[in-house]
Amino acid sequence: MSDKTILVWFRNDLRIRDNEILLEAVRKADKVLPVYCFDPYYFQTTATGGHKTGSFRARFLLEAVADLRKNLQAFGAELLIRIGNPAGIIPLLAEEYHVSEVYHHREVAYEETRISEQVEAALWKMKLNLKHFIGHTMYHKEDLPFPIKDIPDSFAVFKKKVERESSVRPVVPTPDHITVPEIADAGELPTLHQLGLTEPVDDPRATENFQGGETAALVQLHKSLAGIDSPAKQKGKNGNDASTKLSPWMSIGCISPRQVYWETQKYGNNGNLLKLELLWRDYFRFMFKKHGQKFISAKNQAAELAADQNALFEKWKLGETGVPLIDAAMHELNATGYISNQNRQIVANYLVNTLKADWTKGAAYFEEKLIDYSPASNWGNWAFIAGVNDAKESKYAIATKLPKELEAKTDFVLTWQPSSIDEAGDLVEA
Ligand SMILES: Cc1cc2nc3c(=O)[nH]c(=O)nc-3n(C[C@H](O)[C@H](O)[C@H](O)COP(=O)(O)OP(=O)(O)OC[C@H]3O[C@@H](n4cnc5c(N)ncnc54)[C@H](O)[C@@H]3O)c2cc1C
């Protein structure tokens, strides 16, 4: 009898640890074929002349895929890298390597699910199954105290029920071996140039040096949690910053929210405050699963649009509004691909409610620029700020006013923090 081979289609789960599809494939098959596709869809030029994926995120992704390949090679395995539409590539590889099943982690946002539907349809014609796994959230969908259709739209209610009635699963073991078939052509990692991008210029003012990959993610995890129980790192008190800066790695799955959760649990109450942030992340993903695109398009933007909103948007994106804080934050975003949560809220709120420009332009601009872009988190947060969904009762902590003391700050000098955030994640007035 011939060997059974399972193709593991890596997407936003670029890791070996706590990766259920990899572990299951190793357990169920004799051989595993790990594959990553650089889909040109994500590297296209947008209607406004920008890039769907900016160069900071693309470089980070290239580093992450290279690191995954290196880590698989340490097992004597290999990662096949291809450039092209997965709906064309996956079936071809499945045929070439006599694959009996394909595994992947299911996504929630529209574009990602559309791509997997196309792959599924192409495999179906070959009588092959695309098996969907759930693995992007801290709480497993099956462990929630309600079916997806009944998930409360209010974050506060969601949080209360989940924390009371659900628990986070342990991480899954790392495989002890990974056997791949004989591979004729593993494929080269593309260059940024091949993806239609140029090398980003690193700004010396950047506070972080984000290096893609599971290896760097684990270093960042331990670095960011070191001293979490010290008073200086306590979140939400006196504006101290306990931000982990893990989001770029979490967005493409170099580390899982479960791994972060279990590590934070070693730190008592401070770990629990970080759990709250992870819960927000889960919430947005579950909202997309429940409502689909309706979550971000249920209503029109609350504020009426300005007649010159296109010109105002251009000024906003270049950091030329004349408001020092907004301009500094946008310069930082453009120069580094990262800004803090508070600054994201401030610039988004300013675009929507002060400039009265179309929020979807801001969200699309963040999609290009953010190194940690994640569809549910980005579009979900923007939709909240624009007031286009019905989740208002979530008491989401949106910074609505520009703090006066920041008006004199220069580029990248962004010290303002909310006076305090309570345990529910809400802003507390000074
Ligand atoms: C307009 C806007 C757009 C955003 N776009 C994105 C995005 O594309 N990708 C993204 O990962 N986050 C996004 N966020 C959420 C948040 O700003 C970032 O997750 C956070 O700044 C990342 O920094 P950190 O890793 O230090 O977070 P920490 O404070 O250390 O939190 C730990 C993790 O929890 C998650 N998280 C924290 N806050 C949120 C939140 N409000 N919503 C969802 N997840 C959260 C992130 O994965 C983060 O890494 C957006 C927020 C706003 C207001």
Q: Render pLDDT for 202-261 as a digit per residue (tens, 0 to 9).
A: 999 888 889 999 999 999 999 988 866 665 555 544 344 578 999 999 999 999 999 999
| Distance from Cα 187 to the centre of ligand 1, integer Å | 33
Q: Same domain for 146 and 27? A: no
Q: Is residue 224 part of a domain?
A: yes
Q: For 295-304, how does the pLDDT look when each residue is reduced to its tens digit (9 = 90+)?
A: 887 666 666 8
| Distance from Cα 118 to the centre of ligand 1, integer Å | 29
Prediction pTM value: 0.92
Averaged pLDDT for residues 75-80: 97
Q: Is residue 71 part of a domain?
A: yes
- Going by pLDDT thresholds of 50, 70 and 90, the confidence category of residue 357 is very high
**How many structural domains compose the chain?**
3
Domain ranges, residue 146 = 138-169+212-292
Cβ atoms 211, 63 nearer than 8 A: yes
189 annotated ligand binder? no
Q: Same domain for 223 and 349? A: no
Burial label for 414, CB within 10 Å (0-12, 13-18, 19+), is: buried
Q: Is residue 205 part of a domain?
A: no
| Distance from Cα 34 to the centre of ligand 1, integer Å | 29
Q: For 363-392, how does the pLDDT look when each residue is reduced to its tens digit (9 = 90+)?
A: 999 999 999 999 999 999 999 899 887 555
Averaged pLDDT for residues 36-40: 98
160 annotated ligand binder? no
Which pLDDT score, from 0 to 100, does residue 428 have? Answer: 41
Q: Is residue 198 part of a domain?
A: no
Q: Same domain for 226 and 368? A: no
283 annotated ligand binder? yes
Q: Same domain for 315 and 278? A: no
CATH at 320? 1.10.579.10
Supply the residue whose CA is at minimum distance from atom 45 of ligand 1. Answer: 281
Domain boundary among 261, 292, 323: 292
Q: Same domain for 326 and 276? A: no
Pocket probe for ligand 1: among 225, 282, 377, 384, the residue whose CB has the most ligand atoms within 8 Å is 377
357: amino acid identity, one letter: A
Averaged pLDDT for residues 19-37: 98
Q: Same domain for 40 and 155? A: no
Q: Is residue 184 part of a domain?
A: no
Of the listed ranges 41-50, 74-83, 335-344, 397-406, the least confidently predicted one is 397-406
- Other CB atoms within 10 Å distance of the CB of residue 225: 21
Which is the closest atom of ligand 1 to the Cα of 348?
1
Q: Same domain for 144 and 283? A: yes
How are beta strands 420-421 and 129-133 bridged, if at all? unpaired
Domain boundary among 243, 265, 292: 292
DSSP string covering 174-240, please?
A: PPS-------S---PPPPTTTTT--PPPPPTT-S-----SHHHHHHHHHHHHTTTTSGGG-TTBTT-
Q: In this structure, what are the phi and psi dihedrals at residue 138, rounded to the nearest 5 degrees?
A: -70, -50
Q: Same domain for 230 and 308? A: no
Q: Is the CB of 359 under 6 A from ligand 1?
A: no
| Distance from Cα 161 to the centre of ligand 1, integer Å | 22
